[in-house]
Amino acid sequence: MIRLDDPCSLSLLFHLNSEPWLNDDAYHRGAPGPHEHVGPSGAAVSLPHVTPGPLDELAARRRSCRAYERAQLPLATVAAFLASAYGIVEAVPGAGSTRLLRRTVPSAGGLFPLELLVFLRRVDDLDDGVYRYDPVGHVLELLDGGDQFATVLAPTLYAYPFIEDANGFLAIAAVFRRTQQKYGPRGYRYILLEAGHVGQHLALRGVELGLGTLCIGGFTDAALNASLGLDVRRAGVVYGVGFGLARGDDHPPTSDPGSDPRREG
């Protein structure tokens, strides 16, 4: 029996045992059936016609990008992309003399368990390397220098061939105790949900910035975490997003050609 005052062991057991599932029987069972309806049915009510707003238009243009150009990215584009994902938007008074730094995404208990670790290359005025994005200072901290796509990402990401020419891969890592100290095993759900919020921001802001994105859940956890120096009992990558300049038809349509950051490498 796991002790009630042990907030992390139960979810850690699941987390460490959910490496990609190499179960051929399950994968090759054929096409999925029709969507199963769950819950009671009732009479249908027609809804008013919807006029798409700016967010709807970004969402309509979002798609997974699986081919990238080998080109340079302006640092300002990367900065805008990261700030949209997890940046600070406002400081509000918290309990006592504390300040709560509100961000672009909600977070259970305002605990913000995620860390953005980003592999970058071919970015103007920035050395290739692996960086940590610090949203408080809006700075990139260099963790490890050099282009690590072929050495680290190729062997750990199943989708690597799709992003082999991309400019970046953003690993969304969780520090489990930040949230689970308060919410226990249920906090693990919150962490995954929060990573989804960040991923959607990246995908939509990517469209706005003229970037292609690919959300990636298929990676070998142990190897990726080890390459990032994460202690797997305390922290781990839960989601990833590849990004860069989309090649050819994979380029999302841009409404403002002036904002297209595409450049020759």
Ligand X SMILES: Cc1cc2nc3c(=O)[nH]c(=O)nc-3n(C[C@H](O)[C@H](O)[C@H](O)COP(=O)(O)O)c2cc1C
Name the residues that contact ligand X, by CB under 6 A. 63-64, 158-159, 162, 214-218
Tokens (6 digits) for 193:
């949900």
DSSP state of 253: P
The secondary structure of 75-109 as a DSSP string is HHHHHHHHHHHH-EEEEEE-STT-EEEEESS--GG
Residue closer to ligand X (CB basis): 212 or 261: 212
Residue closer to ligand X (CB basis): 87 or 206: 206
Residue closer to ligand X (CB basis): 129 or 252: 252
Secondary structure (3-state) at 25 = helix
Q: How far is the CB of 165 from ligand X (least distance, A)?
A: 15
Q: How far is the CB of 263 from ligand X (least distance, A)?
A: 25
Q: How far is the CB of 28 from ligand X (least distance, A)?
A: 18
Residue keyed to tokens 């020759």: 264
Phi and psi torsions of 131, nearest 5°: -125, 155
45's CB contacts (< 8 A; 6+ apart) are: none
> Which pairing describes strands 99-103 and 88-93: parallel, antiparallel, or unpaired?
antiparallel
Residue closer to ligand X (CB basis): 140 or 209: 209
Q: How far is the CB of 64 from ligand X (least distance, A)?
A: 4
Residue closer to ligand X (CB basis): 114 or 123: 114
Q: How far is the CB of 214 from ligand X (least distance, A)?
A: 6
